Amino acid sequence: MTQRKIRTLAQTDPQIAHLIAAEAKRQEESMELIPSENITSAAVREAMGSILTNKYSEGYPHQRYYGGQEYIDAIEDLARERAKKLFGVPYANVQPYSGSPANLAVYVATCQPGDTVMGQALPDGGHLTHGWKASASGHFYNAVQYHVNARGRIDMEEVEALARKHKPRLIWVGTSAYPWKLNYAAFAKIAKEVGAYLVADTSHITGLIIAGVHPSPVKYADIITTTTHKTLRGPRGGIILVTDKGLKKDPALGAKIDKAIFPMLQGGPHDHQTAAIAVALKEASTAAFRAYGKKIATNAQALAHALISYGVDVVGGGTDTHLLLINCGNGRGALVELALDRVGITVNKNTIPQDPSNPFYPSGIRIGTPSVTTRGMGVREMRKIATWIKAVMDLIADEQLPQNAKERAVFVTQFDRRIARNRALTAIRADVRALCKRFPAQR
């Protein structure tokens, strides 16, 4: 009998192996301040890279359309039970491939195409899937959008007025670029008055909710959706939870969500992903994780305070979550993103409330602390990072994006080339690398 030789990735596909190694080095030597990113544990990655990816399992535990499910069922049962226990809810679906399919499943389970839905506008810190016109949610549903006020806080008077006027079937409360705590009770009152489902998309703040740093929506929302790879620190994936309140409103809600995920929107679940989610949920049930969640917020506040003390325009004057927005000046977010990238600080350009520019050349950057907190950095390191951000912003302060939209792409390419030779940026790059070395990314 011939024995099949196991070939490593490097032997089979050296190009991909090389690129993964290069990305690992990049992750080690630079710091990710993109608020939606994090660093998974070796245990999560082991489950994610396991042989479970070989299996097909359409359906749900103990009700599948394929054989050979005894271990897969046990894995999905564990993931569902851990999710229910961790969040204190009676129902969980752990099969969504990620956050956007999870949110689409909520629409499919609760609305008909053309129904009115309501969510926070994307430039005001909401999410594409909450009714923004470029997404399916804004295309197939009659989406009404609410905004933030001049202080950058959700305008609850507008939320109430729009809900009364449009009587949405579903109201989203959830954000992707909003630094403040959400008032779930106020949203629940409005949703009750107009008879809407209240859906909390906690993707960005799930880890903070587990840590008790942010209020929980469990008492107030009918449905909760979350990605699993942000502050929860799991693999890429999504979870949908139905609360006691949701089941009281509609006892079939869990069954409707299950049906929306499969067979309406998805095929076979990604069993390797389900196992990795189960591992992440176990990790998130520990006191160590709760301490981690608290540190994310402490670090974000320290970063915001330091930046403000250096005269940086932090939108709304701070944060009480894991992220903050910096106003870089009209359309300059992309320039600051590129310059920070040059020194090994990865952020993303982002619109700010009432942005005078557009989403491709927005005026802000979005910064978050989940990943650097996972590396073990604390308040002292946040102050250091703030000095580098300020220094980089000062170094490119004279660079102005052309008014003429057609000239912008060329300008940005030339700008990127120009700063590659900047000695002051190169010196900061060396300091960033030295700090990263003291706080390894891989765990």
Q: Which residues bind ligand DSN (CB under 6 A)?
A: 36, 99, 127, 176
Question: Is the peptide bond preceding residue 61 cis, with omega within 30 degrees of 0?
Answer: no
Q: Which is nearer to ligand DSN, 102 or 275 (CB)?
A: 102
Q: Which is nearer to ligand DSN, 99 or 246 (CB)?
A: 99
Tell me the closest approach of the beta carbon of residue 22 to ligand DSN, in angstroms. Answer: 23
How far apart are alpha carbons 274 and 147 in whole angstroms? 35
How far apart are alpha carbons 238 and 4 in whole angstroms? 36
Longest CA–CA span in the chain (Å) reads 75
Nearest CA-CA partner of 277 in 43, 36, 38: 43
Tell me the closest approach of the beta carbon of residue 351 to ligand DSN, in angstroms. Answer: 12
Tell me the closest approach of the beta carbon of residue 131 to ligand DSN, in angstroms. Answer: 14
How far apart are alpha carbons 40 and 29 in whole angstroms? 17
Q: Which is nearer to ligand DSN, 300 or 425 (CB)?
A: 300
Residues 419 and 339 sit within 8 Å (Cβ to Cβ):
yes
Tell me the closest approach of the beta carbon of residue 404 to ligand DSN, in angstroms. Answer: 30
- The set of residues, in sequence order, having a beta carbon less than 8 Å from that of 199 and lying 6+ positions away, is 106, 110, 170, 171, 172, 173, 174, 221, 222, 223, 224, 225
Nearest CA-CA partner of 179 in 282, 345, 39, 296: 296
Residue 402 is encoded by which pair of tokens?
């052309």
Tell me the closest approach of the beta carbon of residue 37 to ligand DSN, in angstroms. Answer: 8
Strand ordering across the sheet containing 197-201: 91-93, 238-242, 223-227, 197-201, 170-174, 116-120, 142-146
**Residue 15 neighbours by CB distance under 10 Å:** 7
Residues 307 and 389 sit within 8 Å (Cβ to Cβ):
yes
Q: Which is nearer to ligand DSN, 57 or 273 (CB)?
A: 273
Q: Which is nearer to ligand DSN, 125 or 217 (CB)?
A: 125
Tell me the closest approach of the beta carbon of residue 228 to ligand DSN, in angstroms. Answer: 12
- The set of residues, in sequence order, having a beta carbon less than 8 Å from that of 281 and lying 6+ positions away, is 79, 82, 83, 86, 234
Q: Which is nearer to ligand DSN, 36 or 116 (CB)?
A: 36
Active-site residues: which are they? Answer: 56, 58, 201, 227, 230, 236
- The set of residues, in sequence order, having a beta carbon less than 8 Å from that of 263 and lying 6+ positions away, is 58
- The set of residues, in sequence order, having a beta carbon less than 8 Å from that of 413 and lying 6+ positions away, is none
Tell me the closest approach of the beta carbon of residue 297 to ligand DSN, in angstroms. Answer: 17
How far apart are alpha carbons 164 and 173 in whole angstroms? 16
**Crossing angle for the helix pair 271-284 and 70-87, to the nearest 10 degrees:** 40
User: Measured in Å, how far apart are the chain's first and last C-alpha atoms?
Assistant: 40
Q: Which is nearer to ligand DSN, 59 or 99 (CB)?
A: 99
Q: Which is nearer to ligand DSN, 176 or 374 (CB)?
A: 176
